[in-house]
Copies of this chain bind each other. A is one copy, B any other.
C-alpha cells in the first residue's frame, strides 16, 4: 500500500454533496412516502396501517417513527406535497391573468389538469366507495386556499368589481371546482375542457350561463 494516504480531494468545484447519513435520511423519507402512496392506493386510507407502509420499504418498524409521527402525518405529508407542487402553477396563472375572468379560467384549468395527472398515481386499486379525507386542512393546502383568496382580492380590485363577501365567494368557488373536478374524474373519457368550461361559467354567471350540452 502506498504510504501516501488517500484523502478525497475537493477541487475548486467544491463537493457539497451531503454525507452518507444525510443521503440515507432523504432516501428513507422518500421511500416511506412512496410506500405510503402505494399502500393508500391499494388498501385505502382507513385500512392501511403503519406497518403495511414500513414493510414495503424493508425498514424496521421503529424507523418509521424517526420520520413521521403517525399514518395521519404521512398522509398529510403526501397532501402537502401535492399542494406544494400545485402552488407555482397557481402563481403562474395569477401572473398571466389580465382580469378576473382570465385568472379564474386559468386557475380552474390548471387545477383540473393537475387533478387529472395526479389521478393516475392514486386510484390504483382502491376499495370502492371509500373517500380520502381530501378536506384535511394541512398547512400547504391552507396556503393554497389563502393564495386563492388573496389573488381573488387583488384581481377583483384591479377590475374595479363591486366588493363581495370574499370569504364566502372564495369558499364557494373552491367548492365548485373541487366537486366538478371530482365528477370529471369519474367520467370516461376525462373531459378537462368541458369540466373547466362548466365550472368557470357557473362561477361567472350561474345557472343561465351554463353550457347546453
Contact = CB atoms under 8 A, between A and B. Distances in A.
Interface stretch (A82-90, A113-121, A201-209): A201-209
A195 interface: yes
Nearest to A162: B212
* Copies of this chain, whole number: 2
Nearest to A183: B171
Dominant secondary structure at the A interface:
helix
Interface stretch (A6-14, A28-36, A57-65, A133-141): A133-141
A19 interface: no
A203 B213 contact: no
A178 to B, nearest CB: 7
B167 A172 contact: no
A164 interface: yes
Chain A: interface size category: 35 or more
A49 to B, nearest CB: 15
A61 to B, nearest CB: 21
Contacts of A169: 202, 207, 210
A208 B210 CA distance: 15
> Which one of A137, A175, A202, A203 has the highest number of Cβ atoms from chain B below 10 Å of its Cβ?
A175
A203 B198 contact: no
A164 B213 contact: yes
A163 B206 contact: no
24 contacts: A129-B137, A131-B133, A131-B135, A131-B136, A161-B207, A163-B212, A164-B210, A164-B211, A165-B198, A165-B211, A168-B183, A168-B198, A171-B183, A172-B175, A172-B176, A172-B180, A172-B198, A172-B199, A175-B180, A203-B206, A204-B208, A205-B205, A205-B208, A206-B209
